[in-house]
Structure 1
Amino acid sequence: MHRVVLLWVSLLTGDVHEYSRPLDAKKIEQATLDAESYGEKKQVKREDDGLHITLAPGEAETGWKTPQTLKFGGNFTITANFVVRKLPKPAQDDGTAVGLAIATQNVDQPDATLVRLVETTGANVYRSIGKAGNAQGPQGMQMQMQMQMMAMQGMGMPQPGGKPPKLPRQTFPAKGEAFRLELKREGSTVRYHVLDGESGSGRYLGQIELGAGDIAGVKLFAVNRNGAEGLDIVLRDLTVRADRINGLGTEVRTVFGEIFHGEPTALEGGKLIVGGPPPVAPPATPPTTPGPKAAATPGEAKPAGAASPPATEAAKPDQAKAEKETGGSPVKENATEKAKDTDAKDKPKEDTKDKPKEDTKDKPKEDTKDKPKEDTKDKPKEDAKDKPKEDTKDKPKEDAKDKPKDANAKEAPKPTPPPKVEPKARVPLDEVEGIAFEKALTLSGRVLGQPNLDFTRPGLEAPKDGAVAKSDTKTDDVLAPPPGTVTPAKIPKVEPKPNGICDLHLTLANLRTAAIKQVTINAQTDKGPAAWRLDTSDSRDWPLVVRRAGTETWADLFLEPPAGDLNGKDLTVNITYADGQNANATIKSDKRSDPKLAVDPTAPAPSLDARVYLTGDEQLFGKFEGLGEDSLRLQTPWGDRLTVPLARVIGIYMGLPEHKESAESFAKRLRTRGTEDLLLARSKDDEIVAIPGIAEGTKEDKLLFHFQEKTRSLPLKQVEGLVLAARPEPERPDGLRPTFSMAGGIVVSGLWKTLEAKTWKIETAWGQSLDLPAAEVRSVRFQGGQMTYLSDLEPSRVDETPFFTRRSPWRKDVNLAGAPLKVDGITYEHGLAVHSRSALTYDLNGEYTTFEAVVGFDDDAKKLGRVDCRVFADGKEIYANPDLRADAPPVKLSLPVAKAKQLKLLIDFGPDQDTGDRVIWANARLFRKPPPTKTEVAAKTAPADAAKPGSPEPQNTKTPTPTNTTTKPGSGK
C-alpha cells in the first residue's frame, strides 16, 4: 500500500500544501521503490528506519526520486533526513557524497544541490552546488572573481611548467551521523540550511538565485566514485511544503496525518473505500424478453436469451451432469452434443471449422422444431451404446478440444482472469479529515432549449452570389489606398435586440473568475453553417447575449435560432477572457431549434440566478424560484430543486447582469445583520438604497416587502440583494457532518448516503435529498468526527483587555486584519488570531483527550511581540511559557485534556507591553481519542521549525538531537 504520512500544515484548500514521504519499509512498497529508485537498485534495501544504500567504489550514483508526475511551485521548503553509517575518504574531490538535489527540468542535471561529503583530507563537510557545478552562491562567485583578478595582476601566477592554483572550496563543517538538509525558496532565492550535531539549531550555508519556475523533480542520492572503501548510508524521509503542489491526484487525509492517494470508490459499513474497483452507476431497467424465452424455474433469474422448452426425462440426468462439469446450461450442452454426433459421421474436419457458425445459426431452429423429437427417439439409443464411453473417457477431452478449436489446446495455458483491484485503504469516516480532488476546471456547457426569452436577433446577411461589396473609398488623396489596392468593406457592428423570436438558451459552467472579452460559437446545421459572437465588430456572425453575475463561474448564453435545426449537432464555444487567456468547449445539442417560435408575452418572467448564503458558512447557487413565508425555492445548476428553510438563510445575492452592490460590500452586510430584514434595491438613478423591513415573499416576478407599515412590491430585476434579520441559528446535527465544496463556490453539508460513479446522494441538514454531480465536487471536509478544530466551535467565554483603550477582537481562520493566517512563513487555513490580553474558554464536556496547536506570532508582527502564553484544563495549568517571543520559532503543542470540562487559552502581556502581541493559535484542534503514539511523541518533542539559523530554542519543547532523528517527518522543522 502506498501511503504518505505527515504532520500536514494546510487543509485541502489552504494556501500552502505539503507532500511528505517516509522511506521506511512500512511506508513504501517494493514495487513503488522499484519505480522511484535509480542507479544500483539492488543496493537499495527497505529497512525499518529508511532506505539503506551500500555502494562499492566505482558504482553508479544511486538514490530515490520523487514521482515524475509531482510538480510544485511558488515559495517552498524541502527537507530531507539522512544517516551516515560510513562515508569513506575519497581519492579525489567530490569522490564520496550524500545529498539532496532539485531541478526545474531534468533532476539528473540539477539546478541546486546540497551535499555532505568527505574531503581528501578526511574532513566531513557540507557543500552547496549551483547548476552544472558552479561555485556556491554569491560568496563563492565573488571569491572566484577575486582569484581571477589576482591571476590577471600577476599575483599567484603558476611557475613555468606548474599547475594553476586550485580555487578554494567553500565548505562547512559536519558532525554526527544523523543530519537534515533543507532548501528554502522565497521569491527567486534558494537558501541552504543544515541541522546536525554541530549545533542545536539550523545553520545557514549560503544561497543561490534559482528563479520562480516550478520544480519538476527532487532526488536523494549517494555517490562513491573513488572512495577507499564501501559507502553505507540511510535515506529516511523527504518533506516538500510549497504554495502549490500538483500531480498527486486525489488525496484522502485522516485526522491523524495519513494521506492516501486514490479516488473514493465506495461507502461500506461506516468506512470510506479508497481505490479499488471504480463505483458503478445504478443498473438501468432490465430488458424484457419475448414470452417463450422468458420461461425460467420459479424463483430463479433466467439469463437473457438462454431459454428453451424443458428437456425429456431421459435427457435430464445427462443434462444435469453436463451442466455440472462445464458450468453451461443444459439446453446448450444438448445442442452441442447433437452437433458433435452428426459431425462425427460425415464431417469430422468441419467440426473445428464450422461448428461455431452452426451453433449460432441453427441452434434456435433445432431448439424449437427438431430437438424434442430427436431427444425422445435417438437419445436412448445413443445413451445405451456410446454415452457411457463418452461420459467417462471421451467427453471431457472433446469438450477441451472443441472449445478452443485447436487439437493442441490442452497444452495451452488457460487465460488468467485480470487481478482483482484491491482498495488502497478502508478509512473509518469519523477519522477522515478531508478529501481533495486534483481536477482541472474545464469549460463545459449544455443546451437548455428555447425558453420564452428574447434578447437578440439575426446578424447581417452575407452578400448574394455575384454581388460586390462596396469598398471604403475616400476622395482624400492622403487616405486613399495606392493603386491596385482595394480597401475591404467595413461591416457594421450589430447590437443584440429583441425580435419576437424565442432565443436558444445555453448554460456554461467552470468559467474562470475573470471578465469575458469575447465569445464565439460555431455550428453546422441542417441548412449550412451558423456562427454567433459577443462582439460582432467587422463580422457577419450573429450577436449573442451573455448573462453573468459579476465573475461567477456560471453564465447563460442566448442565441438567435438558425434556419437549420441544431438537434444532434455540435456547437463549438470559444471564450476569450480580459486577461488574454482562452477556454473552449464542444456542446452537443439534444434539443430541437425552431427559427419561427414566437415569444408568448403572457408567459411568466424567467428566473434570475441567485447566490444564497446559509448558516455554517454554506452557500448555494442556482435559479431563484421564489420566496415563501418560511422557505426559499432554488434550482441548482445540475437540476435539483431545493426548498430551504429561512431559518438557515442569512442572505440572498441576486444574479443581476450588472451589480451595483459589490460582493465584498454584501459580505460585510452579512456580518452585521440587524433585527430587521434589509432590502438592497436599485433606484431609478442606479444607486443602492438599503431599506429595513420585513420580506414577506415573492409573487410572480416581484418581491413583497413590508416597509413603514405598508406592504410594497418591487420587480426582482431591481433587487440587488436581501439580508435577513439575525436570529438564533438552528442547532447543528450531532455526529459526523461532511461538507462538500463544489465548482462555482457552492458549499453544502449533509449526511453522505451513497457514492456512485456520477452522483453522490446526500441528505441536507434540513432533511432534503440532494444529488451532487461527482465531477463537480472539489473537496470534502468532515466535522464532528475524531478531530474538531477550535475555529469550528464557539467559545463559552471571551475575556479581552486592551493595554490602552483600543481593543482588537479575536478572529477565527483569519488574522486580526482579515488576511490568511501566516506564522513563520507558513499559511494555515484554520486557527485563532488574538491580541494581548486575551482569554478564550471552550466547553469540552469531557469529550476530548488531546489538544494540539502551533502557537506563534503573526508574520505581520515584525518580530516585535513578547507575551505570556498559558493553557489551562479545568483551571489546572497544563502549559506555560512566560516569554513567548516573536523572534523565536513557533511552538508545537500536544497536551492531554482527557475528561476536561473546559479548556482556556490565555495570552497575557509580556515585558514589552503589547507591542506586536498578535498571536496565532494555528491548527488549534481537539482529538476525541489520542493520536497514534508516534505522531504524539513527535509533536511533543519537536519544535514547529528547527531550521531557523541562530534562533533560540523555544521553551517547553525539545530540539531533536543529531543522533536520534526518528521524529515524524516535518514535526521537527
Structure 2
Amino acid sequence: MQRTIGLAVWLGFIAVGVCDSAEMVSVTDLAGVVSTGRLQSWSLDRLQLTGESPRDFARAEIRSVHFDRPGKRLTRTMQTTPTIWLSNGDQISARAISADENFVTASWSLLGEGEPTPIPLEKVVAIVFEWPLDPQERLRLIADLETIPKGNDVVLLTNGDRFSGEFERFEAAHLQLKVGPNSLKLDRSRVRALRFNPELTTLVRPQDRRSCLTFDDGSHLTVSACELVDETLQVQSGYLGKRSLPVHHLLACHLFGERVIPLADREPTKVEFTPYLSVQWPLVRNANVRRGPLTLRGIEFVTGLGMHSRMAVTYPLKGSEQEFRATVGIDDLAGGGGSVRFGVDLDGERVWTSAELKGDTAAVKVPVIKLQGHQQLTLVVDYGEFADVLDYADWCDAVLIVDPVP
C-alpha cells in the first residue's frame, strides 16, 4: 500500500462576522498588551471588542485571542479521550470507528456523534485508542510514537508489547496487521495505539498566514478560513473539509503570518551540538527534543523549538525582523529533572542569559530582543548543575515580529 502524507499546513485567516453570543475574550497584540472585552465582530481584516474600553484591532496586529473558559484549559498530559494525529501536526480528540487502506472513519463529539467523519489515511500519522492513566506515561507514549523507526506500521498494546508490519484494517472488534506472509488479527480492546510508517510521510513547510484553533477537548486544528456565525464556527480545513464547530468549545486562536513568523518556519544556517558524553540530540520544530508536545508547567504551546544541552542554533536575519520573543523552560517530560541556561546571541555577541533553570522552575519569558541592524540570531542552551541529564529545553512561542508589508 502506497501512502504519501503531506505536512500541509492550511493557511489563511479567521474571517468572523458579528458575534451574537458576546463572548468574553482577551486579545494579545504585537506589543504584548492584553485587552479584554466582549467580542463584537471579527472579520477578514479587523476584530472589535466592546466593553469599558472598546478596541478595534487590525488582524496583522494580533498575536492571539483567548476565550474566557474557566477550568477548561487542557493539554495532552491531561488527555483521556481517543486521539487522531494528522500529518500537519494537528490532533483531534475523536474516536476512530474503523479504517481500511483508504480512510479512517472517526466520530468527533464537536461535530456531533451522529456524523462520522472520513479522513484520508494518507493524512493520518497515528491513532491513540486508549491513553495511560499517568500524565508522565502519556507524555512518554507521545514521544515513543514520534520516534518509532521507519519501515513499518507499529501497533502498541496496553501490556507494553508491540507488533510491526503493514496495516490492513480495523473495525470495532479487531485490528488486522500483515506480518511477513501472514495476517495477524489483534483484539481491539488490547490496542493502545497505532503508528503509521513514518517513511511514507512527506513534510511540507508552512507558508503565508494561518490560524491555529485550540478546543477544550484537547483538539488542535489549523484552518485556512473560519467564519463565526451566531455561536457556530464555519471552518475550512484541508483535512476535514468544510465543518461547523460550536464556538463555546473554542479556547484560543493563534494567528501566524503577516507580522508574526514562527521561528520554526525558518531554516537555520548552523546547528552546533556538543554532547556531554556521546548521545546526539537533534533540533526539533514545534515539539520538544523527544518529539512530544512543547509543554511547560501544564501549558502546551502550539509553536516553538525543542533543544538539548549543549546546542547553539543560528538563523539568518533578512532585515525586516524587528523583534524576537519566546518563553523558555525545561519541558514537563523531564518530570522535574534537568538543569540548563538559555542564551541569545546577536552577531556572535551575548545579549541575554537566563538564570539556571531546572525542571521544576517556572517558565521564563525572554525579554524582547531587538533585531534591527543585526545579521544573525543564535539561540543557545548550555549545561546546568546536572550536566546534560534530562535537559529537554523548550523555546516556546518563539516568534519573529517583522515589518508590516507595504
Q: TM-score, normalised by structure 1?
A: 0.32
What residue number does 2:400 align with?
926
What aligned pairs does 1:876-895 form with structure 2 within 5 A after superposition? 877=347, 880-881=349-350, 886=355, 892-895=368-371
**Change in CA separation of 1:849 and 1:885 when aligned onto 2, cut-off 3 Å:** closer
What residue number does 2:170 align with?
698
Instruction: Choose from 95, 107, 121 the match for 1:623.
Output: 95
Contact 2:97 2:172 in 1 (8 A): no
Q: How far did residue 649 of structure 1 move?
A: 1.6
Instruction: Choose from 38, 41, 52 the match for 1:263.
Output: 38
> What CA distance in whole angstroms lies between the structure 2 residues aligned with 1:794 and 1:627?
36
> What CA distance in whole angstroms lies between the structure 1 residues aligned with 2:394 and 2:225?
33
Q: Which runs of 5+ in 1 are unaligned?
A: 1-247, 277-421, 443-509, 514-549, 555-609, 872-876, 932-973
Look up the equivalent residue of 2:350 and give its one-letter code: N
Instruction: Choose from 186, 210, 213 the match for 1:740.
Output: 213
**Change in CA separation of 1:832 and 1:749 when aligned onto 2, cut-off 3 Å:** closer
Contact 2:341 2:354 in 1 (8 A): yes
**Change in CA separation of 1:766 and 1:663 when aligned onto 2, cut-off 3 Å:** same
Instruction: Choose from 745, 750, 763 the match for 2:223.
Output: 750
What aligned pairs does 1:583-594 form with structure 2 within 5 A after superposition? none
- Which has the larger share of helix? 1
Whose relative contact order is higher, 1 or 2, with alpha carbons under 8 Å and at least 6 apart?
2
Contact 2:213 2:250 in 1 (8 A): yes
What residue number does 1:718 align with?
190
- Which has the larger share of strand? 2
Q: How far did residue 441 of structure 1 move?
A: 5.2
Look up the equivalent residue of 2:124 and give its one-letter code: V
Structure 1 SS opposite 2:178:
strand
**Change in CA separation of 1:782 and 1:642 when aligned onto 2, cut-off 3 Å:** farther
> What CA distance in whole angstroms lies between the structure 2 residues aligned with 1:855 and 1:747?
20
Look up the equivalent residue of 1:925 and give its one-letter code: V
Matched, 1:647 2:122: yes
**Change in CA separation of 1:691 and 1:767 when aligned onto 2, cut-off 3 Å:** closer
Residues 731-762 of structure 1, C-alpha deviations (whole Å, 9 max, x = no match)? 25533221111122111111233102221011
What residue number does 1:432 align with?
62
Look up the equivalent residue of 1:673 and give its one-letter code: I
What residue number does 1:789 align with?
262
Instruction: Choose from 630, 634, 645 the match for 2:106.
Output: 634
Q: How far did residue 724 of structure 1 move?
A: 1.0
Structure 1 SS opposite 2:31:
coil
Structure 1 SS opposite 2:371:
strand
**Change in CA separation of 1:643 and 1:914 when aligned onto 2, cut-off 3 Å:** same
After superposition, the CA RMSD in angstroms is 4.8
**Change in CA separation of 1:424 and 1:732 when aligned onto 2, cut-off 3 Å:** farther
**Change in CA separation of 1:842 and 1:882 when aligned onto 2, cut-off 3 Å:** closer
Structure 2 SS opposite 1:668:
helix
What residue number does 1:181 align with?
none
Contact 2:205 2:265 in 1 (8 A): no
> What CA distance in whole angstroms lies between the structure 2 residues aligned with 1:746 and 1:623?
12
> What CA distance in whole angstroms lies between the structure 1 residues aligned with 2:395 and 2:91?
27
> What CA distance in whole angstroms lies between the structure 1 residues aligned with 2:205 and 2:246?
25
What aligned pairs does 1:314-333 form with structure 2 within 5 A after superposition? none
Structure 1 SS opposite 2:239:
coil
What residue number does 2:204 align with?
731
Q: How far did residue 654 of structure 1 move?
A: 1.2
Contact 1:250 1:437 in 2 (8 A): yes
> What CA distance in whole angstroms lies between the structure 1 residues aligned with 2:60 and 2:146?
31
Q: How far did residue 274 of structure 1 move?
A: 2.9
**Change in CA separation of 1:620 and 1:885 when aligned onto 2, cut-off 3 Å:** closer
Instruction: Choose from 782, 799, 803 the match for 2:272.
Output: 799
**Change in CA separation of 1:897 and 1:622 when aligned onto 2, cut-off 3 Å:** farther
**Change in CA separation of 1:261 and 1:553 when aligned onto 2, cut-off 3 Å:** farther
Larger-Rg structure: 1
Look up the equivalent residue of 2:46 and give its one-letter code: K
> What CA distance in whole angstroms lies between the structure 2 residues aligned with 1:620 and 1:553?
12
**Change in CA separation of 1:732 and 1:913 when aligned onto 2, cut-off 3 Å:** closer
Residues 652-708 of structure 1, C-alpha deviations (whole Å, 9 max, x = no match)? 11149999x9634431322212221101246xxxx3431101112235743332111
What residue number does 1:677 align with?
153
Contact 1:853 1:921 in 2 (8 A): no
Look up the equivalent residue of 1:250 and give its one-letter code: V
Q: How far did residue 810 of structure 1 move?
A: 4.8
Residues 283-302 of structure 1, C-alpha deviations (whole Å, 9 max, x = no match)? xxxxxxxxxxxxxxxxxxxx
What residue number does 2:5 align with?
none
**Change in CA separation of 1:758 and 1:625 when aligned onto 2, cut-off 3 Å:** same
Residues 554-594 of structure 1, C-alpha deviations (whole Å, 9 max, x = no match)? 6xxxxxxxxxxxxxxxxxxxxxxxxxxxxxxxxxxxxxxxx
> What CA distance in whole angstroms lies between the structure 2 residues aligned with 1:702 and 1:854?
45
Contact 1:651 1:722 in 2 (8 A): yes
What residue number does 1:163 align with?
none
> What CA distance in whole angstroms lies between the structure 2 residues aligned with 1:783 and 1:612?
24
Structure 2 SS opposite 1:717:
helix
**Change in CA separation of 1:662 and 1:439 when aligned onto 2, cut-off 3 Å:** same
**Change in CA separation of 1:747 and 1:905 when aligned onto 2, cut-off 3 Å:** same
Structure 1 SS opposite 2:145:
helix
Residues 375-419 of structure 1, C-alpha deviations (whole Å, 9 max, x = no match)? xxxxxxxxxxxxxxxxxxxxxxxxxxxxxxxxxxxxxxxxxxxxx
> What CA distance in whole angstroms lies between the structure 2 residues aligned with 1:773 and 1:696?
35
Contact 1:855 1:892 in 2 (8 A): no
> What CA distance in whole angstroms lies between the structure 2 residues aligned with 1:252 and 1:441?
19
Structure 2 SS opposite 1:263:
strand
> What CA distance in whole angstroms lies between the structure 1 residues aligned with 2:352 and 2:207?
40
> What CA distance in whole angstroms lies between the structure 2 residues aligned with 1:692 and 1:612?
19
**Change in CA separation of 1:920 and 1:423 when aligned onto 2, cut-off 3 Å:** closer
**Change in CA separation of 1:847 and 1:621 when aligned onto 2, cut-off 3 Å:** farther
Deviates more, 1:711-720 or 1:751-760: 711-720
Instruction: Choose from 245, 253, 258 the match for 1:780.
Output: 253
Contact 1:861 1:886 in 2 (8 A): no
Q: Which runs of 5+ in 2 are unaligned?
A: 1-22, 331-335, 357-363
> What CA distance in whole angstroms lies between the structure 2 residues aligned with 1:737 and 1:624?
27
Residues paired across the two proteins, number: 358
> What CA distance in whole angstroms lies between the structure 1 residues aligned with 2:270 and 2:319?
18
**Change in CA separation of 1:435 and 1:719 when aligned onto 2, cut-off 3 Å:** same
Q: How far did residue 718 of structure 1 move?
A: 3.5
> What CA distance in whole angstroms lies between the structure 2 residues aligned with 1:634 and 1:275?
39
Q: TM-score, normalised by structure 2?
A: 0.69
> What CA distance in whole angstroms lies between the structure 2 residues aligned with 1:833 and 1:703?
34
Structure 1 SS opposite 2:57:
strand
Q: How far did residue 928 of structure 1 move?
A: 2.5
Contact 1:865 1:914 in 2 (8 A): no
Q: How far did residue 722 of structure 1 move?
A: 0.6
**Change in CA separation of 1:732 and 1:789 when aligned onto 2, cut-off 3 Å:** closer
> What CA distance in whole angstroms lies between the structure 2 residues aligned with 1:268 and 1:733?
23
> What CA distance in whole angstroms lies between the structure 2 residues aligned with 1:436 and 1:851?
23
Structure 2 SS opposite 1:896:
coil
> What CA distance in whole angstroms lies between the structure 2 residues aligned with 1:836 and 1:623?
38
What residue number does 1:766 align with?
239
> What CA distance in whole angstroms lies between the structure 1 residues aligned with 2:337 and 2:124?
35
Q: How far did residue 425 of structure 1 move?
A: 3.0
**Change in CA separation of 1:627 and 1:430 when aligned onto 2, cut-off 3 Å:** farther
Q: How far did residue 806 of structure 1 move?
A: 5.0
Contact 1:849 1:930 in 2 (8 A): no
Matched, 1:252 2:24: no
Matched, 1:870 2:345: yes
Contact 1:803 1:914 in 2 (8 A): no
**Change in CA separation of 1:430 and 1:732 when aligned onto 2, cut-off 3 Å:** farther
